Amino acid sequence: MFQLQLLRLDHAPALLDFERENRAYFAASIPDRGDEYFAHFAARHDELLAEQAAGLHFFHLLVGSGCEVLGRVNLVDVADGSAELGYRVAERAAGRGLATAGVREVCALAAGEYGLTELRAATTVDNAASRAVLARTGFTPCGETELSGRPGLRFERKLSEEEGRPRP
């Protein structure tokens, strides 16, 4: 189905393809990255890798059997045992449980590998699919917010040491 991989330098071409191919699809439910993102993709990719090496963020790709990027699940603003979760899945891979599986796997990494105790997330009110992923993966609503001028909801999830341990 997919393999979760921590972002690497050699992911850049496939990641750029993923973002370009799905730009309009993503923009229908989340704020668009803007033309600057694509114009300066290589430099931004290098910046992300440097920030990841510094422990500020953890960027993960959902990679298919053909080495294509099917999605992203990121932990950003890592500090004081918590981080903000963000994810997106390619249009052609949507509706198959990929986001749910990826978020579950990243939650386990967050607890086990990264030593986090809490994750936060946000989505627009009209993004039912994202709200469903968060509910299925143990996030609970904790307030309202605004995302690029659109009404949104904030979520949180406490992590336990047990979920980060390998299962027999």
- Residue range 27-78, pLDDT digits in tens: 887 777 888 889 999 999 999 999 999 999 999 999 999 899 999 999 999 9
pTM of the entire predicted model: 0.91
Residue 68 sits in which domain range?
A: 3-164
Q: Is the pLDDT of residue 111 over 80?
A: yes
Model pLDDT, residue 164: 62
CATH number, domain at 46?
Answer: 3.40.630.30
Q: What is the CA radius of gyration of the chain?
A: 15
Is the pLDDT higher at 81 or at 160? 81
Cβ burial 3-25 (10 Å sphere, 16+ → b, else e) = ebeebeeebbebbbebbeebeee
pLDDT band at 7 (very low <50, low <70, confident <90, very high): very high
Per-residue confidence (pLDDT) for residue 166, from 0 to 100: 60
Query: How many folded domains does the chain comprise?
Result: 1
Please give the mean pLDDT across all residues of the chain: 92
Task: Annotate the chain with DSSP letters as a single string.
Answer: --EEEE--GGGHHHHHHHHHHTHHHHHTTS----HHHHHTHHHHHHHHHHHHHTTS-EEEEEE-TTS-EEEEEEEEEEETTEEEEEEEE-GGGTTSSHHHHHHHHHHHHHHHTS---EEEEEEETT-HHHHHHHHHTT-EEEEEEEETTEEEEEEEEE--GGGGSPP-
Residue type, 105: E
The distance of Cα 110 from the centroid of its chain, to the nearest Å, equals 12
Q: Return the structure tokens found at 11.
A: 């992911």
Whose structure tokens read 């298919």? 64
132-144 average pLDDT score: 97
Residue listed under structure tokens 């986001």: 99
pLDDT tens, 69-103? 999 999 999 999 999 999 999 999 999 999 999 99
For residue 138, count CB atoms less than 10 angstroms from its CB and return exposed for 0-12, middle for 13-18, buried for 19 or more.
middle
